[in-house]
Amino acid sequence: MSDCIAMRESMPLLLTESLDPASREAAHTHIESCAACSDEWAGVRETWRLLDEMPRVEPPARVKAKFLAEIGQGEVAQTNIVPFRRRPAFKWLAQAAAVVIIAGGSYFAGHRDQRIVLPSQEARISNVIPVSAPIYSLAETRTLSSKTMSPNIEGRPDIENVQFIDADPSDGSISLGFDITQHMTVSGAPTDKSMVRLLSYVMQSEDRVSPSRSRTIDWVRDTYSKSGNADPEIAQALAKVLRNDQHEGVRIKAADTLNSLAPRVPVTAEATRDALIEALKSDPNPAVRLKAVEALARMASSGQQLDPASIDMLRQKASQNDENLYVRVKAAEALSTLSKIRPE
Partner 1 sequence: MKHLSDQELMRIVQAGDFSPASEIYDRYSGRIYNFALRFLKNAEAAEDATQEVFVKMMRHANQFQGDAKLSTWLFSITANWCRDYLRKSDNKAKEAEDVLINLPAPSELSPDRTLEQRENEDLIRRALQALTPEQREAILLSRYQGLSYAEIAQISGCSEGAVKTRVFRAMETLKKALVGDLRGGDRCLTALP
Query: Given the rule CB under 8 A, which residues bind partner 1?
Result: 8-9, 11-13, 16, 18, 39, 42-44, 46-48, 50-51, 53-60, 62-64, 66-68, 70-73, 75, 243-244, 246, 248, 278, 281-282, 284
DSSP 54: S
Nearer to partner 1, 28 or 64 (CB): 64
Smaller CB separation from partner 1, 56 or 124: 56
Rounded to the nearest whole angstrom, what is the least distance from the CB of residue 244 to partner 1 in the complex?
Answer: 6
Determine contact, residues 217/258, Cβ cutoff 8 Å.
no
Transcribe 150-215 into DSSP letters: -SPPPS----EEEEEE-S-GGGT-EEEEEESSSEEEEEE-TTSHHHHHHHHHHHT-TTS-HHHHHH
**In this structure, are strands 142-145 and 183-188 parallel, antiparallel, or unpaired?**
parallel
DSSP 149: B
CA pair distance 292, 277, nearest whole angstrom:
7
Residue placing its CB nearer to partner 1 in the complex, 69 or 329? 69
Quote the CA–CA distance of 203 and 245 in Å, as a whole number.
Answer: 9
CB of 48 to partner 1, least distance (A): 7
Q: Give the orientation angle of helix 286-301 with respect to helix 325-341, to 10 degrees.
A: 10
The least CB distance from residue 312 to partner 1, in Å, is 15
Distance CA 110, CA 189 (A): 47
The CB-of-127 to partner 1 minimum distance in angstroms stands at 56
- Cβ-based nearer residue to partner 1, 48 or 90: 48
Q: How far is the CB of 286 from partner 1 (least distance, A)?
A: 13
Cβ closest to partner 1, residue 156 vs residue 281:
281
